[in-house]
Amino acid sequence: MERKLTDQELVRREKMNKIREAGIDPFGSRFDRTDFASDIKEKYESFSHEELEEKQYPVKVAGRIMFIRKMGKASFFTIKDKTGKIQIYISINDIGDEAYTLFKSADIGDIVGVSGYIMKTQTGEMTIKCLEYTHLVKALRPLPEKFHGLTDVEERYRRRYVDLIMNDESMKIAIMRPKIIRCIRNFLDNQGFVEVETPILTTLLTGASARPFTTHHNTQDLDMYLRIALELNLKRLLVGGMESVYEIGRTFRNEGMDPQHNPEFTMMELYQAYSNLEGMMDLTENMYKKIANDVCGKTTFKYLGYEVDLSKEWKRISMVDAIKEVTGIDFSKEMSVEEALSLAAKHEITVEDHEHTTGHIINLFFEKYVEETLIQPTFLYGHPVEISPLTKRNPEDPRFVDRFELFISGHECANAYTELNDPIDQLSRFEDQLKEKELGNEEANDIDYDFVEALEYGMPPAGGIGYGIDRLIMLFTESESIRDVLLFPTMKPINKTEN
């Protein structure tokens, strides 16, 4: 069913037709802009009204009309470009009858070009005196009301283009995100890392515990997955001698959605030959502090309801010690599965069939009692081997592995390992994962025999880590939801005839 146009939309279409009848393209063409709003303000703010009037510095700007105050033969309006807003003074005496008549037909939301020179009003507001007015694009839909904007959260995410127009904070986050990623790249490149790209389509589930999206390759009649992690291909490159590699790329997990999770997300994994767990801790802490200082200019952030200080030395604690601090239970002692199950029952922890191991129960205790208490940056290390199939065992206690997770404000932000490079142990871990899959664990890994073969050629000792880039950006932009830092988060489709 065809959507019925509102009265405002009908009026705007009539104006569009009149613009076309006047020989002007309602949807414009190239406009050679030379200046931006914020640059103009920064450059000329210190000049007096008289200095600007004398020098008449020329500028040429373009943007969307956000405010109009029409006053007969002279008017003020405000345009917004990607850097911000600036006021325009326009007069029939400066641009002539024809151009001023064209301006009077303008609506909020239209895109225009303005050539003129810098001036200041009597109140001292930086303003452009318009000497040439160019209509560029007629907006056929009105913007949301000025004082309310796009306040419905779902609509903000669904119609991000309107959100960016109306909400300066959304634009700030959108522009800040690539700056943060660029800082990460520079940080790693300066330490000798090489950025690489690896396939998104894969035939095996490896590198993480997650449910996949499935697809089908028609030519080869082959069922495939969208990757759930970047890990194994990057470690193949260590075998090949690249030594220090990283990838920033889209990853896909067919799981639930909440303020911390989106089905497709950006992940970074890096691997460094001859490093280890401590090396990954040092690199991570230094990288976060580098972003805080260079991009944000501060080290304290409000994140998920807590004030987080990145400048202090970050805490490092084992999982069993963290559990002992909160519950008094000491899982560092040898413990049978029966004893662990008994403790779980006493503490009302549900244990699934594939979790009937002491290691899984330790992790369940951590998730229930400890995770949400880790507010300031904390490296939590020493995970049970059962929940870390790709990680090197701790040489002093083989029940645990050399792995850490970074927690901030009670949420995981990174996951790191001293990488497993023993092909025999790796194959055994894969086989254990297959048994878990048979017991109903939909997130268990497949066996990647080619990766085991690669390890048989020899992979150097290495440290590796994976970061959720979206969560990292949530921290540095002080955002509450992952959808705030994704330009186009996954949304349920709507009926187009309704809008």
Same domain, 214 and 249: yes
* 148 falls within a domain: no
* 446 falls within a domain: yes
Number of domains in the chain: 2
Cβ neighbours for 297, distance < 8 A, ≥ 6 positions apart? none
Q: CA–CA separation, 360 vs 354, rounded Å?
A: 9
* 43 falls within a domain: yes
Question: For residue range 454-481, what is the model confidence (pLDDT) as tens digits?
Answer: 999 999 999 999 999 999 999 999 999 9
User: What domain range includes position 103?
Assistant: 7-143
Q: Which of 143, 174, 195 is the last residue of a domain?
A: 143
Same domain, 120 and 54: yes
Question: For residue range 189-234, what is the model confidence (pLDDT) as tens digits?
Answer: 999 999 999 999 999 888 877 899 999 999 999 999 999 999 999 9
User: In the chain, what percentage of residues exceed pLDDT 90?
Assistant: 84
Q: Which residues of the chain register pLDDT less than 50?
A: 147, 498
Question: For residue range 362-403, what is the model confidence (pLDDT) as tens digits?
Answer: 999 999 999 999 999 999 999 999 888 767 889 999 999 999
Same domain, 133 and 196: no
* 340 falls within a domain: no
Quote the tokens at residue 423: 């092909």
Same domain, 449 and 487: yes
Same domain, 308 and 440: yes
CA proximity to 326, closest of 293, 368, 296 = 368
189: region left, alpha or beta (phi > 0 left; psi from -120 to 50 alpha): alpha
* 37 falls within a domain: yes
SS3 116: strand
Q: CA–CA separation, 311 vs 317, rounded Å?
A: 18
Same domain, 265 and 409: yes
* 51 falls within a domain: yes
Cβ neighbours for 157, distance < 8 A, ≥ 6 positions apart? 163, 483, 489, 491
The pLDDT assigned to 209 comes to 79
In this structure, what CATH number is given to the domain that contains residue 272? 3.30.930.10
Same domain, 109 and 242: no
In this structure, what CATH number is given to the domain that contains residue 29? 2.40.50.140
Same domain, 122 and 242: no
Dihedral sign for Cα 279, 280, 285, 287, please: positive
**pTM greater than 0.85 (yes/no):** yes
Same domain, 205 and 296: yes
Same domain, 271 and 405: yes
* 353 falls within a domain: no
The pLDDT assigned to 436 comes to 80
* 393 falls within a domain: yes
Same domain, 205 and 299: yes
Q: CA–CA separation, 355 vs 366, rounded Å?
A: 14
Quote the tokens at residue 241: 């001698």
Same domain, 287 and 431: yes
Is 201:178 a contact under the CB 8 Å cutoff?
no
